[in-house]
Amino acid sequence: MKDKSIFEIKSLDLFYGNFQALKSINMELAGGEITAFIGPSGCGKSTLLKTLNRMNDLVEGCRITGTVRLMGQDVYGGMDVNLLRRRVGMVFQKPNPFPMSVYDNIAFGPRTHGVKKKSALDSVVEKSLRDAAIWDEVKDRLKKPALALSGGQQQRLCIARALAVGPEVLLMDEPTSALDPISTGKIEELLLQLREEYSIVIVTHNMQQATRVSDRTAFFLLGEVVEYAKTETMFSMPKDKRTEDYITGRFG
């Protein structure tokens, strides 16, 4: 998967009613890597993230032209949305566990996709929680309510829940912005481990986070991708003056 393109986005325009939120986006997201989307609020980075697993489908007045391909398959060309979201999982800014037990949160996805056998569910729950680096903290309280966990634990639980359906890609929309530095550090460590098996796209307002965890960074401004480069290059020698001005805090 590494070095292969996982998402291919071509001439993508997105409108919310008359407002154009994304303008002529052309980019390839590499597999086995962490890609960071950065930019000021309202620049289109979260909108593009949601476009990758069709989370915008439910937004009224949302219109998309151009193509988004996942491993060569057209995401907007008749692909089963449930299948798409199984392959492309999402983690949100605020941890959002379901009001049920830790176990049931993780088993929810596999059950929806038809897994009924207890041993199979047990195994997927344990693997997902281990992969999300939270197994040791919750293994003795699997039947306890997930909402009783701390914020950082809840967020790792949500990552485990996303992993439970066996995705290829994880989309993360500011996954640590509601967390304290210790929990943030744990999630960042986790991202670097998950990179071995999954491709990750992360929206972040924390530029130090982008430099710490991502392989490539895309800078968005007013619905356009201004610059898309290796993270080290972007943060040491950006090509575009607008990128330089944004990351050095001259605007935004």
Residues near other proteins (CB under 8 A) are 207-208, 211, 232-233, 235-238, 243-244, 247-250
Amino acid, single-letter form, for residue 131: D
Tokens of residue 53, six digits: 């697993």
Find the DSSP H helices in the chain: 45-52, 81-87, 102-112, 118-131, 135-138, 151-163, 181-194, 207-213, 231-236, 241-247
Q: Is 131 or 227 the residue whose CB approaches other proteins more closely?
A: 227
CA-closest candidate to residue 159, choices 180, 189, 181, 122 = 189
Q: Whose Cβ is closer to other proteins: residue 85's or residue 216's?
A: 216
What minimum distance in Å lies between the beta carbon of 101 and other proteins? 41
State the minimum distance, in angstroms, from the CB of residue 25 to other proteins: 23
Q: Which is nearer to other proteins, 99 or 249 (CB)?
A: 249
Q: Which is nearer to other proteins, 28 or 245 (CB)?
A: 245
Task: Give least dist CB 238 to other proteins, A.
Answer: 5
Q: Which is nearer to other proteins, 128 or 231 (CB)?
A: 231
Minimal distance, residue 236 CB to other proteins, in Å: 4
CB distance 109 to 128 below 8 Å: no
Is the backbone of residue 89 left (phi > 0), alpha (psi -120 to 50) or beta? beta
What angle is formed at CA 74 by the lines to CA 69 and CA 76, rounded to 5 degrees? Answer: 110
Structural tokens at position 26:
């052309």
Rounded-to-integer distance, Cα 226 and Cα 80, Å: 32
Nearer to other proteins, 13 or 244 (CB): 244
Phi, psi of 194 (to 5 degrees): -65, -25
- Count how many residues are written for the chain: 252
CB closer to other proteins out of 222 and 229: 229
Residue 153: CB minimum distance to other proteins, A: 28
Between CA 172 and CA 176 the distance in angstroms is 9
Which residue, among 216, 219, 151, 162, has the nearest Cα to 186 in the 3D structure?
151
Nearest approach in angstroms of CB 231 to other proteins is 10
Least distance CB 44 / other proteins (angstroms): 22
- For strands 199-203 and 169-173, give the pairing: parallel
